Structure 1
Amino acid sequence: MQNAPITLANTYPDDIAAFKKELQDAFALAVVDEFGELPGGPIPSDEVLDGAVNAPGAVTLRILCDGRKVGGAVVTINEETHRNSLDLFFLKVGEHGRGLGLQAWLAIERRFPETVAWQTHTPYFEKRNIHFYINKCGFRIIEFFNRHNPDPNQPEGGNDLPGDGDAFQFEKVMKRSNPRL
């Protein structure tokens, strides 16, 4: 069955609670698959999500398929450098495996055509995400964060994911700011 085209819509304040719950449910699947259970409260925590949604330059998007909410994303857009970040990205539980994620990512790229480069990250244990970002979306790994090389943007004890905190940083260069590069 062919999916309807993916579109993006801004997320409004009255939808943020549902957005956060759907994101946490989606992230919980990967954590439970890897660790057998959640280590306490929802992942990411409400505090982490509120920080991402309310960060300077943040744009919170709903991913729609034929007008139906199938996921969401939080991107941070830097209007000066056009080096943007994909901070959170998810498909709702039950929406995986039909190509919606790649369609959604391509829609995000089209929405922000001035982007020079995108960065994102994912936990080391999240093999499905690593495959998606590298093999489907064209990102490359630019850094591996671990106890010997901690993420400078992560406050001490600020990671609410289980495990040892190992994570990959990815980048996708869209266009060069200097054509001679």
Structure 2
Amino acid sequence: MITLSIVEVSERAAFKKHLQEAFAVAVIETFGSLPDGPIPSDDDLDQSFASPGAEALHVLDQGRKVGGAIVTINQETHRNTLDLFFIKLGEHGHGLGLRAWQAIERRYPDTRVWETHTPLFETRNIHFYVNKCGFKIVEFFNPHHPNPHGPGGDDLPGEEADFRFEKVM
């Protein structure tokens, strides 16, 4: 049974470490190594924690922490974002990601639209969001159509190409 719990301030360092480890896999597979420092950076994660409406969640499988998410909930528009989502290293291949996403949907039943982003090189995410979770690709950001909201830096080659997904509930 997948459940969710709020990440306490005292748990943020461990949460960030597990998220960065999970994100590093695709970066290393694609580019051969990490740029200087973790992806996303500690500063980017601190900004995510502090964003208005943000909630950081542990993903629990029978009480055991197996992943996490940061979502931003807009109580007025009910147009919410999945800002960051991960399953810890060693926990993949057991259907936890889909069950975790379904738990997030259940936690926020008033959501009208979910939105998320993923870079072009992260094909596993594209498969997961479109084929497993029912998101639709609604925008493709690239040098000819830049994302007005980020990503901010040029930490990775090809980072200027990413997708915006929506799921209408």
**TM-score range relative to shorter protein:** over 0.9
Distance 1:90 1:160, change over 3 A: farther
Give me the TM-score of the superposition, normalised by structure 2: 0.97
- Tell me how far 1:159 sits from its aligned partner: 3.3
Kept in 2: contact 1:44–1:161 (CA 8 A): no
SS at match of 2:164: strand
Matched with 1:179 is none
Change over 3 Å in CA distance of 1:32–1:55 after alignment to 2: same
1:168 maps to 163
2:46 is the alignment partner of 1:39: no
Q: Show CA shifts across 1:36-68 (max 9, x none).
A: 100110000001101111100000000000111
Equivalent pair of 1:44/1:160 in contact (CA under 8 Å):
no
**Residue 56 of structure 2 is aligned to residue 74 of structure 1:** no
Aligned equivalent of 1:149? 145
Q: Which amino acid aligns with 2:118?
A: T
In the alignment, the residues of structure 1 paired with residue 164 and residue 122 of structure 2 have an alpha-carbon distance, to the nearest angstrom, of: 13
The answer to whether structure 1 residue 15 and structure 2 residue 15 are counterparts is no
Please state whether the residue corresponding to 1:8 is helix, strand or coil: strand
Note the C-alpha offset of 1:20.
0.3
Q: Distance in 2 between matches of 1:104 and 1:116?
A: 19
The whole-number CA distance in structure 2 between the counterparts of 1:17 and 1:83 is 28
Q: Give aligned pairs, total.
A: 168
* 107, 110, 133: which one aligns with 1:137: 133
* C-alpha distance in structure 1 between counterparts of 2:142 and 2:49, whole Å: 26
Give the percent of matched residue pairs that are identical in Structure 1 and Structure 2: 63
Q: Which secondary structure does the structure 1 equivalent of 2:40 belong to?
A: coil
> What is the CA deviation profile of residues 16-39 of structure 1, one whole-angstrom value per residue up to 9, with x for unaligned ones?
000000000000001001111001
1:126 match: 122
TM-score, normalised via structure 1 length? 0.91
Tell me the distance in 1 between the aligned counterparts of 2:117 and 2:55: 17
Go from structure 1 to structure 2 and tell me whether the alpha carbon gap of 1:147 and 1:35 turns closer, same or farther (over 3 Å shift): same
- Which whole-Å deviations, capped at 9, do the CAs of 1:1-23 have from their partners, x for residues lacking one? xxxx1000000001000000000
**Counterpart residue type for residue 164 of structure 1:** G
Q: Is the 8 A contact 1:43 1:160 kept in 2?
A: no
Q: How does 1:47-126 map to 2 (within 5 A)?
A: 47-126=43-122
Residue segments in structure 1 that go unaligned for 5+ positions in a row: 175-181
**RMSD of aligned Cα (Å):** 0.9
Q: CA deviation at 1:93?
A: 0.5
Name the larger-Rg structure.
Answer: 1
